[in-house]
Amino acid sequence: MTDLVLEWTPHGGRSRKLVFEHQPNADCPWARVEYERRDGTWRAVGCECLESVTLSSADGEGLPVTPTDNQPASRPATTEVEDDD
């Protein structure tokens, strides 16, 4: 697994997504990047460096995310999408 992506559209708001990106050759192991869709384009609106990422279920079971190191991480500044706003 290289990246985790959570995407949602709030009631009455712009679509958003969080991307947890493994960065094998960077100073921090993971980056959490938040995007907002504006004018049909995903635009980064926030970023932070993370030491680790864990997926947890509602019952509290945690599963560490283990990246596949042979796949380079990449983060486009913007990504074109269909505009259905």
Taking only the tens place, the pLDDT of each residue in 50-69 is 998 888 888 877 777 776 55
**What gap in Å lies between CA 16 and CA 48, rounded to an integer?**
16
Q: Residue 19 has which token pair?
A: 């991307």
Give the HSE-up count for residue 24: Cα atoms under 13 Å, Cβ half-sphere.
12
Instruction: Report the pLDDT value the prediction gives residue 67, as an integer from 0 to 100.
Output: 67
- The pTM of this model reads 0.67
Q: Which residues of the chain have pLDDT under 70?
A: 1-2, 67-85
**What gap in Å lies between CA 78 and CA 35, rounded to an integer?**
9
Which position has the token pair 């938040």? 34
* Percentage, residues of the chain above pLDDT 70: 75
